Structure 1
Amino acid sequence: MQSISYKDSGVDIDEGNAFVEGIKPYVKATFDKNVIGGIGSFAGAYELPGGFKEPVILAATDGVGTKLRLAIDSDRLEGVGIDLVAMCVNDLICNFATPMFFLDYYASAKLDKYRAIRVVQGIAKGCEIAQCSLIGGETAEMPGMYQHKDFDLAGFAVGIAEKSDLQRQSNIKQGDVLIALQSSGIHSNGYSLVRKLLFEELKMKFEDQICGKTLIETLLTPTRIYVDDYKKIKNHINALAHITGGGIVENLPRVLPKDLRAQIDTKLIKTLPIFDILKLNLDEDEVYRVFNMGVGMIIVAPRTNLDYILKNTDGYEIGEIITAPCGVDLI
């Protein structure tokens, strides 16, 4: 029997080693003073920040979903790394956790170090925006699981919070104001529906123009990272809701007490042109249940703090809290 190698089966160890060397400068650029050691150990090490009375560690994990399909098909790979970080750290801050570090998982049929480096560059950029360190990751070649240029991503973010802050939403009261923080676009949810509607039903093309940008540029706009906004206002808010899959109607109730309800005036929501296209072709209840509709985060805060929040973010008022069973009224 002729001798065969791991490379013959579709896995190239040398390409993997070259990839690790290629990403080192981007990863190191995310390190802060709490990172212990360098790249290449069996686990990443991070010293816990001081200043907490009762520190609690929180973790979040997520992916990018079928937005990856568009990134792969258009060969626009840099932005999905930012998406990956955003989807994790934006969840952490909703529990009043400051992101500390991030890990990623990249799986493909066959590792192409140049394409993979472009993805990790985006992950590193996302970590810099989120002010957290990229301290580890895993790259897997699985020719029996993936085909051609397909790959998948998963991300893992760890943050730290004061234990008392985990109960902050119990401070929510009738009359609290609801403030929207704008999204950068569709973010990273609902792309199966987007692809079916725009490309299968409406027969649109990547190069079609929407307000001076191509459709593919619009669809691949990276998810906005809200960590800096959160740090500016965290002591002036009662709750923060990340508007992802399920839209406003399913995500906002996750931070509300059972006897309080959100009342939102949809006429106040600042949408983007891509959402106008979706609204024209889909049922209104469906678009508000699937997409963020221009609202990436919703802040719940005492009305006395409204001016401070508006001065320190791009937020704007969209509604208030009323006494009624937990839920959302879109009026």
Structure 2
Amino acid sequence: MTNTLAAANVELSRCVAASSRPSFDKPTTATQPAFGITPYRCFSQRYAPLSLSPQGRNSVSHSRINSMSKNDSDEAGGLTYKDAGVDIDAGSELVKRIAKMAPGIGGFGGLYPLGDSYLVAGTDGVGTKLKLAFETGIHETIGIDLVAMSVNDIVTSGAKPLFFLDYFATSLLDVGLAEKVIKGIVDGCQQSDCTLLGGETAEMPDFYAKGEYDLSGFAVGIVKKDSVIDGKNIVAGDVLIGLPSSGVHSNGFSLVRRVLARSGLSIENQLPGAAVTLGEALMAPTVIYVKQVLDLISKGGVKGIAHITGGGFTDNIPRVFPKGLGAVIYKDSWEVPAVFKWIQQAGKIEDAEMRRTFNMGIGMVLIVSQEASHRILEDGNSAYKAYRIGEVVTGEGVSYH
């Protein structure tokens, strides 16, 4: 009986939350869900509504580990991501240990065979960028970040996103605030041409601070087996094409917040060298690269793709290379956005730390043939910017020249 009550309570709290946002759970593009599934949060047929006791769940993603811990020390020297409480090496070690139990994980997206295709899935959150959302009051775009983190991962395999599901958790549901967040998720799905299929809304009293919430989500896409982008054909001499970011995206915010605290500046202060406030620059929504990347893939010559998230260039680019190959990055081949220049100066952060923590203005890297690079860079009719940022070389790791 207890299990039945608990399950029913989950279903009821989920539906009460859903009733506040019916228009946002509909398919967001012309693509309709298959098999007659209606993408609404609704009561299960198995349980009668019994009470409004809120329930919640915990989840862990192993495709990419992002620590959220804190460190209250404030060293006088240059800041590092580890100083801010995030240990990339510890995350990498955990992935290695998990891989022993579940071989095959560790890519940007997980591939599951389905006939002549693969389903490709990815899951993520937006990290401590949520703290900035609470401080700035900007909640309309954080949902775009959430969708972006998953669909940008799965498109690295050449997969077209099919659908997305979200998880929204809070201590006490604020319907208006939740609606703003979900509207951003809808916008993100529209940008990536996928369907918001549903999700979970959990109220967990005393678990989160008043006015705060947590977000996570996952996306599923599909790609033909003979069209998977896996990096196996990359050779020395291939070209690295960088697609510009909109700013910090959704990684490195534990360090960003530490830099803010050290600088003594408010999020309402103007960003040096820009016409926006620090808060506006930091909350710029993550670029969704799906349409651009799929268009480039369709024209041929794309051999590998790296989504530049936690780990920056240093850790993410080598993930798509065959053994024995590395990359040289041309340091002055694109304009580094003002927000990164401010973060580095205010935090006295070393170049190597910046490159391993932030995207530095390049959110996606494509490894392409020489021929494809000329076509991409010389396409004067393209609506998208792209930069030649480096090349593949013999050896391993990433160096900067």
- The TM-score normalised by the length of structure 2 is 0.74
1:1-40, aligned counterparts within 5 Å? 17=15, 19-35=17-33, 36-38=36-38, 39-40=40-41
* Cα deviation code 1:235-261 (max 9, x no counterpart): 321111000000001000000111111
Q: Show the counterpart of 1:3.
A: none
Alpha-carbon separation, structure 2, partners of 1:153 and 1:328 = 33
State the shift of 1:327 in Å.
1.4
Question: What is the CA–CA distance in structure 2 between the aligned matches of 1:23 and 1:122, rounded to whole Å?
Answer: 13
Instruction: Give matches, 1:75-86, under 5 Å.
Output: 75-86=137-148
Report the alpha carbon displacement of residue 27 of structure 1 after superposing the two structures with TM: 2.7
Equivalent in 190, 204, 218 of residue 252 of structure 2: 190
Secondary structure at the aligned position of 1:320 is classed as: strand
Contact 1:266 1:318 in 2 (8 A): yes
Q: Which residue of 2 aligns with 1:277?
A: 342
The alignment status of 1:223 with 2:289, answered yes or no, reads: no
Structure 1 residues 253 and 184 mapped into 2: Cα distance closer, same or farther (>3 Å)? same
Unaligned runs of at least 5 residues, structure 1: 1-5, 44-51
Q: Which moved more, 1:241-250 or 1:259-268?
A: 259-268
Q: TM-score, normalised by structure 1?
A: 0.89
**1:41 offset after TM fit, Å?**
4.9
Partner of 1:49: none
Within the alignment, does 1:246 sit opposite 2:308 as a pair?
no
How far apart are the structure 2 equivalents of 1:270 and 1:31? 34
How far the C-alpha of 1:299 sits from its partner, in A, is: 0.8
How far apart, CA to CA, are the structure 1 residues paired with 2:176 and 2:327?
47
Which of 274, 287, 302 is the aligned partner of 2:369? Answer: 302
Percent identity reads 40
Amino acid at match of 1:20: A
Q: Partners in 1 of 2:229 and 2:241 — Cα distance?
A: 20
Structure 1 residues 168, 37: closer, same or farther in 2, change over 3 A? closer
Following the alignment from structure 1 to structure 2, what is the Cα–Cα distance between the partners of residues 152 and 234? 34
Which residue is equivalent to 1:202? 263
Q: Residue 268 of structure 1: CA displacement? A: 1.3
Q: What is the RMSD computed on CA atoms of the aligned residues?
A: 2.2
Q: 2:277 corresponds to which residue?
A: 214
Residue 297 of structure 2: aligned partner: 234
What is the rounded CA distance, in whole Å, between the counterparts of 2:254 and 2:228 in structure 1? 34
Give the match for residue 264 of structure 1: 329
Q: How many residues align?
A: 312
Q: Which one has a larger percent strand, Structure 1 or Structure 2?
A: 1
Secondary structure of 2:326's aligned partner: strand
Query: What is the CA-CA distance between 1:37 and the residue it aligns to?
Result: 3.2
Question: Which structure 2 residues correspond to residues 136-215 of structure 1 after superposition, within 5 A?
Answer: 136-166=198-228, 168-198=230-260, 200-210=261-271, 211-215=274-278
**Is the CA contact (8 Å cut-off) linking 1:16 and 1:111 kept in structure 2?**
no
Could you say what secondary structure the match of 1:321 adopts? strand
Bigger mean CA deviation after superposition, 212-221 or 266-275:
266-275
Greater helix content: 1
Question: 8 Å contact 1:15–1:111 — kept in the other structure?
Answer: no
Cα distance in structure 1, aligned partners of 2:312 and 2:230: 22
1:40 Cα shift? 3.7
Q: Counterparts in 2 of 1:40-79, with a 5 A limit?
A: 40-41=41-42, 54-79=116-141
Q: Which residue of structure 2 lines up, in the alignment, with residue 93 of structure 1?
A: 155
* CA distance in structure 1 between the aligned counterparts of 2:155 and 2:12, rounded to whole angstroms: 39
